[in-house]
Structure 1
Amino acid sequence: MNRRDDVGLDWWNNGLQLRLHFQPTGMALAVLYALACWTARQYSLDQFYLPAGIRVAALLLCPPRLWGYLILGEYAYFAHMRIPMIDGYGLPWVVLGSASLMPAVALVVYLHRRWMRSPSEAWLLPVAAGAAAVATMLKVALPYLLWPTPPTTPWTATAIRYALGDFLAILALAPLALLWSRRHLAPGWNPRLVVPTVALMVVMGALALASTLTPPGAGGARTGVLLLMALPAIALTCLHGWRGAAIGVPLLTLLVHFTTPSTGTPGSFDAATFAMQQSMAVISIALLALGSIISHYRRQHRSRDVDERRVVASTRSSLMASEMELRDRALHLRRIGEGMDLSLGDVMDWLKAHGHHDAASRLEQTSAAHSREFRALASMVYPTALEQLGLYLALQTGGVREAWDQTHRIARPRLAGDPCQLTVGLQLAAYRTLTDAVSLLLEHETGQLLLRARCGHLRRRRGIFLSVALLDTRRHLSEPTTALLATRLTARALAYGGVVQCRGNRVRLVLLEMPVAAPARSSTVVGH
């Protein structure tokens, strides 16, 4: 006999051995789930069955590896409740009706696992509808198939009552479970909205209390008060998006449920409230869908803000790197100019020492003119005076001012404020932006130009306002000039949260200090 036959004989003699490992945490979860379902059933109606909501909420909160313990807790709950019903309804219904609900609903939740990983919460509505439909189908079909005496009530009325009850209960508890499970993924709550949120919840509670104080004969007034509770839920959804709906919808449905008249026994039904609960179901679906859409677009807006801040930071870093490279070149040119001045000074001293005073004088005049021109050109590469003297003095004493004076088209600039209160980066951006704007207007427009600059605060942020205008107010900037200005000036304006406007006879620019954590404002170009 070979080894395989020995193994088969051992299996036949010893039987099949099963090794089951139960974790204490899982057993505690099963007990807690069974107690929660049993307690919730005491406060449930056929039209609002809370254990259905606990079932879906538990599946959303627990990972799939713990679902077996939830099924065990469900079996314990049904065993306590239905074992005494064996004589009246039969053992097949008690076993199959108890063993099929939780696995069927778990299958519905599991089939949506791909959508559950997405940032959107819209998948909760099909999960709720699918779980309610599957559970209702089992609860309605199995009694007709397995009870010794089938129910006498029409199955359509029972199905509608059970489906609405399960669906409302799921919408009352599942959003809270999902909100808790995703508490670390979503951005923090806005502190400024805490007071309005609490106030809206208090208003909902006050309306629920008012509905309970309504006289029993005034059914229409009670229904109207309950429907008014939807208004705070709508406001919560508009304030917080899906998270507001995840608070408002459960609060709305639970308050309506606990203000519904009941016989005091599990499985009660109130026909007067049933029609209103249908309206509440529609309102709940609309609020959760609306909240999901609002949160989706808010996430997109935040994503665009993050991308915009990243682009702004990258643009500003690139501009500063270019400026630092130009600064190194300007300093190198200055060193070259100083070396040339020293060499020419030595040559002039030699000429004077050997009696060539006329040649030395002509050389001195020529070298002084070229040295001044050389320094002016170097200052146009990078305005080193800006770092020590500020933007305004750099504009009035550097090479750019000499170049403007040679055109005889630039009026005396009108400068106000203290530019030294601004960062060097912002002053450099203003310097480059202003010189580019003047250069373009000198090249493509005719007539005199007037420059204005004013430093100050705008919306609690330091910044500078720049303006380059044609003195002739009757003329307008041409469309090609406006397009060139937009192309050349927008990059620096974007990097410093600025605005470029071309209107009438002038181009106006605003550059602001950009906070590190604040979203950048997009620069815009407005045509005349």
Structure 2
Amino acid sequence: MEADRVRRQEGEVRLNWWNEGLQLKLRIHPAGLALAALYAIACWGARQLSFDQFYLPAGIRVAALLLCPPRLWPYLLLGEYAYFAQIRYPLIEKYGIAWVILASTLLMPAVMLIVHRSGQLMSRSTNAGLLAIAAAASVVVTLTNLGLSHALWPSPPSDSLTAFLTRAGRFTTGDFLGILTVAPLALVWAARHADPTLKPGHRGITTLALVSMIVLGIMAAWMPDDSAAARTSVQLLLGLPAVVLTCLHGWKGAAVGVPLLNLMIGLSMPKPYPATFDATVLATQQVMAITGIALLLLGARISQYHRRYRQRESSEQKAISLARSSHVASEMELRERAISLRKLGDGIDLSLTEVVNWLTSQGHQSIANSLLHTATVHSRLFREQASMVYPTALEQLGLYVALQAGGVRAAWNGTHRVVDPRLSGDPCKLSLDLQLLAYRTLIDAVSLMLKHETGQIVVRTRCVRGRGQRGIVMTVALLDPHRALSSDTGELAADRLAGRMLAFAGTVRTRHNRIRMLLVEPSSERLSTSGHGRAEPQAASPSAWSRTRA
């Protein structure tokens, strides 16, 4: 019973479909119709400048598919049909309605399928994907056009195989050059926000290359017909500015230089109408097509290496920024410890003073004096050690005062091997972070020399400024100029000091009897308030074939 009821319902559904029909919802947007009209007008205008061996509507077709999302492709198909209706309706009586319909409806869907299938290749390599689309589309469109004409024309062209292949090669070259002339510009437009800036030094060279291409193209177009050899030479010279653009701007430079190269050569045809054929220009175009392929691939490779360089440079800058932040954080922690030690020392001094006063009041003057002397010495040593944890004097008085009045100077004097430092320049113009790093690095370098070398040691520092930067040069050297540092000392200096220097783009070099260190910071770096309480940086006739091409 249940099965009978289901069959009756299915029969009712079929009857309702037969009586009521199918309901299809089709939305047509005015913007889509405007896109279709714009596409048809662009194809018509491009055809007025095209020839069999330089066919721009093929480039318009591929460029439109690359620029528009798939949801707008039906409107492009509508525009394609409107374009074909305008140019092929008058040909119905001569070539038949079957050819007009099929030859007009198959081309755009075939190219749509090619562009859709090449999506993954385009995502991996833009120029390689474009070349694959250009090659496949030009071959498919040419074979479809020629095959349908031989199959559907009332009087098919009776050509030999050689003539057919020659015509197919010419049409394929024309479509390929048309695609390489228009489609790369569409890709540049689509990626206009990816890297919109030019380097200031490249702006003038880029302008010169573009102007030279235009001038050479005009020269080739205005040359008389009897100077074919000179025209060919000028056309070949057009490749040099395209190479310059590719080297400067990678795939974007190639995507601008190659279309301009093809356009200048195409417009230099002696008779610009669709039936034109010039064997000399065709040979030049074939050479330039190969050149364009090479430039697009070279541009893609240059852009790839440039992108890798930018990523590596960004990673290095991030690592340097992290190292600098880590340095600042560690210095802040040491500063808090030094402040705590100073408070602790003040408390101990206060307690000892009270004890000394009580002993004095009780008549124990000698014990009080002895205790006061011992407390004074130990208090001084305690404060010197606290200053080596973090030089608080550096914040108010600068690097040189911290080196001359702090605990580090007492420690150096205690070795009897470090002569008076030779300090020049004004370190207070440097940021606090750089001064702290210079302080730490200089102490480590002197300690390294004291531990692994013998003889007197001299410390020299000099604040420098030039080329928009400022910094400090520090040298820790043996006083005896005839002695050289051991290889172990040089290796230890590179291992222990280089890591700190990277935070401020510094360098460490070991030469003969000295260790030379350079710390640099940009002089134009914007200052901000740091946690330290001080500012720091941050057989048809040619005419018939031309009329039927698409």
| TM category, shorter | over 0.9
CA distance in 1, matches of 2:116, 2:267: 31
1:254 is aligned to 263
Of 19, 29, 40, which aligns to 2:35? 29
Deviations 1:103-133 (A, max 9, x none): 1111111112123334754322212222222
Query: Is 2:225–2:270's contact at 8 Å kept on the other side of the alignment?
Result: no
Deviation at 1:4, TM superposition (A): 3.0
Tell me which residue corresponds to 1:113.
119
Contact 1:128/1:171 (8 A) holds in 2: yes
> Any idea what SS the aligned residue of 1:476 has?
coil
Q: Quick one: distance in 2 between partners of 1:490 and 1:120? A: 41
Question: Which deviates the most, 80-89 or 298-307?
Answer: 80-89
Contact residue 120 and residue 296 of structure 1 kept, 8 A:
no
CA deviation profile, 1:260-298 (whole Å, cap 9, x unmatched)? 122x53243222210000011011111111111111111
Residues in 2 aligned to 1:277 and 1:26: alpha-carbon distance in whole angstroms? 36
1:387 is displaced (CA, Å) by: 0.6
Q: CA deviation at 1:380?
A: 0.6
Aligned to 1:409, what secondary structure does the other structure show?
A: coil
TM-score scaled by length of structure 1: 0.94
Displacement of 1:43 after TM fit?
Answer: 1.4
Q: Does 1:416 align with 2:424?
A: yes
Distance 1:156 1:127 in 2: 21
2:468 is aligned with 1:450: no
Normalised by the size of structure 2, how large is the TM-score? 0.91
Structure 1 counterpart of 2:169, which letter? I
Question: What is the one-letter code of the residue matched to 2:118?
Answer: H
1:8-407 to structure 2, matched below 5 A, reads 8-118=14-124, 120-153=126-159, 154-262=163-271, 264-407=272-415
Change (3 A) 1:10 1:167: same
Which residue pairs with 1:467 in the alignment?
475
- 1:10 maps to a residue whose letter is N
1:521 matched to which residue of 2?
Answer: none
CA distance in 2, matches of 1:498, 1:137: 65
Q: Which residues of structure 1 form unaligned runs of 5+?
A: 518-528
Deviation readout 1:205-224 (Å, 9 max, x if unpaired): 11122223333222111100
Following superposition, the deviation at residue 333 of structure 1 comes to 0.5
Deviations 1:124-154 (A, max 9, x none): 2212222222212212222223323332342
CA distance in 2, matches of 1:464, 1:299: 34
Distance 1:127 1:503, change over 3 A: farther
- Whether the aligned pair in 2 keeps the contact of 1:253 and 1:280 (CA below 8 Å) is yes
Residue matched to 2:529: none
Moved more, 391-400 or 111-120: 111-120
Q: CA deviation at 1:187?
A: 4.2
In structure 1, C-alpha distance between the alignment counterparts of 2:434 and 2:73, rounded to whole Å:
59
CA distance in 1: counterparts of 2:125 and 2:428, whole angstroms: 47
Whether contact under 8 Å (1:44, 1:268) holds in the other structure is no
* Counterpart secondary structure, 1:510: strand
Q: Which amino acid aligns with 2:102?
A: L
Shift of 1:449: 1.4
1:423 CA displacement: 0.8
8 Å CA contact 1:57–1:174 kept in 2: the answer is yes
Aligned-partner Cα distance in 2 for 1:398–1:234: 62
Amino acid at match of 1:171: L
Distance 1:135 1:501 in 2: 66
Which amino acid counterpart does residue 376 of structure 2 have in structure 1?
A
The residue correspondences of 1:504-523 to structure 2 (distance < 5 A) are 504-514=512-522
Q: Which amino acid aligns with 1:277?
A: Q
Q: Aligned residues, how many?
A: 516
Gaps of 5+ in 2: 527-550
Over the matched positions of the two proteins, sequence identity in percent amounts to 54
Once the two structures are overlaid, the 10-residue window that deviates more, 159-168 or 235-244, is 235-244
RMSD across aligned positions (CA)? 1.7
Letter in 2 for 1:450: V
- SS for the counterpart of 2:106 is helix
Q: CA deviation at 1:462?
A: 1.3
